[in-house]
C-alpha cells in the first residue's frame, strides 16, 4: 500500500510517501506559502490513502477515516491545541478537495494515551466540572511514543508489551510518557499540550495561583493569556529569542546569563518529568529520547542523562545520531537510547489499520 503521510506542525509540514512500510520519498516546507500544500499533494497523488496527523483527537481511540462529522468534532478541539489543530484541519480539507477518491485517515496523538489509568487521567477538580469526563488529561506525542516503543523493542530484543520505559519526546514541544503494556500509562502533557516540561515557546506547568495573580495585577483577556503561555514563554520568553534551542545554545556560549539560566531550567524540568514518569512503572527497562532535539542536539540529551544517575543511567560519549542507538556508558544499569523520530511510519501503519477495519466490516 502506498500512503502519503502529512505531519503538520505549528508553522511547517513534513511529508513522506510510505510504500509497504518503507519511506520512499520525503520533503518538508514552511507553510508561509499557501500553495505549498497543493503542490505537495499533486507531487505524490498516486496513492492508496492519505494519513494526516492530528495532535488532539478528543475521545478518538484509533485512527479513523475522515468524513464531515469527524472534521466537525475535530474542529471543536482547536482551542485545546491552537498551535497544530487548525493546520491539520486545513490540510485535511485540501486533500479531500484535490483527491476526492482517495481515503483520508486521521491519526491522533492522544490515542496512545486513551487507556491511561484513571488516577493518572483525572484532575482534582470539582465533580460538577469533571462529570462528563471531558476535563481530563489526554496526553500528546502519541505517534512519536508508539514508534519509539516499537523501535526500542527491536533494539533491545524485547516484546513491546513486556517493556516498561520512559519516552521523552524532545523537540519544539516536549513531553515525557511512561509506557507499560504497550501504551501510555502517565504523561506530562494533559488537557492541552501546554502542561509539563518547559518547551521552545510554551511555558509547561505553572502554578495556577501565579496565573491568577497575574490576571489580578495585569488584567488581560483569556486570548492574551493563551498567547503568552503558548507563544511567548519557555526558552523564547526567558531569553528573548524565538525559542530555537540552537539560538539559545549559541547565546549561552557567548556568555549570556539569561540563556544559561534558561538551559538549566530546561534540563531540570525535563529531568523532573522523567523521574515522575518512572514512578508510574513497576520497573524501568529503558529511557528513550526522540524528537528533533534528540536527533540534532544529542549533546543536550547527554547533559540531561548526566543528571539521571538516581535512575541508574550513566551518560556515554556524545553520540552520532544518524542511527538509533544506546547512548549510555557501557555497564550503565539502565540503558538510555536516542531513537530518530519516524511519525511518518506510524501514520502509514495507522492508515492501513483503519482501512483494514473498514474492509472487515
Which residues carry out catalysis? 109
Four-residue CA torsion sign, 349, 355, 356, 357: positive
Strand residue runs (E) in 153-204: 164-170, 174-180, 183-187
| Contact assessment for residue 339 and residue 147, using Cβ atoms and an 8 Å cutoff | yes
Q: Are strands 49-54 and 2-8 parallel, antiparallel or unpaired?
A: parallel
- What is the DSSP-derived secondary structure letter of residue 331? T
Residue 110 C-alpha cell reads as 492522544
User: CA–CA separation, 69 vs 77, rounded Å?
Assistant: 13
Sheet holding 104-108, edge to edge: 22-30, 12-19, 2-8, 49-54, 104-108, 64-65
Query: Mapping DSSP to helix (H, G, I), strand (E, B) and coil, where does residue 52 land?
Result: strand
**Residue 303: CA atoms inside 13 Å, Cβ hemisphere, count?**
13
Q: Which class for 94: exposed (0-12), middle (13-18), buried (19 or more C-beta within 10 A)?
A: middle
| Contact assessment for residue 177 and residue 165, using Cβ atoms and an 8 Å cutoff | no
Amino acid at each position: 500500500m502506498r500512503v502519503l503521510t502529512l505531519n503538520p506542525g505549528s508553522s511547517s509540514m513534513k511529508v513522506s510517501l510510505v510504500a509497504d512500510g518503507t519511506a520512499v520519498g520525503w520533503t518538508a516546507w514552511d507553510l508561509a506559502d499557501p500553495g505549498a500544500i497543493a503542490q505537495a499533494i499533486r507531487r505524490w497523488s498516486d496513492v492508496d490513502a492519505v494519513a494526516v496527523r492530528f495532535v488532539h483527537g478528543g475521545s478518538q481511540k484509533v485512527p479513523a477515516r475522515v468524513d464531515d462529522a469527524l472534521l466537525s468534532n475535530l474542529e471543536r478541539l482547536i482551542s485545546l491545541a491552537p498551535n497544530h489543530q487548525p493546520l491539520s484541519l486545513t490540510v485535511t480539507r485540501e486533500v479531500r478537495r484535490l483527491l476526492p477518491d482517495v481515503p483520508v485517515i486521521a491519526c491522533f496523538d492522544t490515542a496512545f494515551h486513551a487507556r491511561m489509568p484513571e488516577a493518572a487521567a483525572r484532575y482534582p477538580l470539582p465533580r460538577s466540572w469533571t462529570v462528563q469526563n471531558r476535563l481530563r488529561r489526554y496526553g500528546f506525542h502519541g505517534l512519536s511514543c508508539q514508534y519509539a516503543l516499537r523501535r526500542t523493542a527491536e533494539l533491545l530484543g524485547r516484546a513491546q508489551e513486556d517493556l516498561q520505559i520512559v519516552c521523552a519526546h524532545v523537540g519544539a514541544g516536549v513531553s515525557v510518557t511512561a509506557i507499560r503494556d504497550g501504551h501510555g500509562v502517565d504523561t506530562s502533557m494533559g488537557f492541552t499540550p501546554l502542561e509539563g516540561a518547559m518547551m521552545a515557546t510554551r511555558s509547561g506547568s505553572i502554578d495556577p495561583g501565579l496565573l491568577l495573580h497575574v490576571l489580578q495585577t495585569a488584567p488581560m483577556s483569556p486570548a492574551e493569556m493563551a498567547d503568552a503561555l503558548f507563544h511567548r514563554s519557555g526558552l523564547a520568553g526567558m531569553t528573548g529569542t524565538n525559542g530555537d534551542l540552537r539560538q539559545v545554545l549559541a547565546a549561552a556560549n557567548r556568555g549570556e546569563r539569561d540563556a544559561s539560566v534558561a538551559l538549566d531550567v530546561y534540563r531540570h524540568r525535563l529531568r523532573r518529568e522523567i523521574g515522575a514518569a518512572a514512578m508510574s512503572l513497576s520497573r524501568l527497562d529503558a529511557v528513550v529520547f526522540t524528537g528533533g532535539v534528540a536527533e540534532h542536539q544529542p549533546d543536550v540529551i547527554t547533559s540531561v542523562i548526566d543528571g539521571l544517575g538516581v535512575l541508574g543511567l550513566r551518560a556515554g560519549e556524545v553520540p552520532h545520531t544518524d542511527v538509533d542507538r544506546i547512548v549510555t556508558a557501557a555497564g550503565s544499569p539502565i540503558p538510555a537510547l536516542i531513537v530518530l523520530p519516524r511519525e511518518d511510519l506510524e501514520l502509514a501503519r495507522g492508515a492501513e489499520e483503519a482501512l483494514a477495519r473498514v474492509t472487515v466490516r
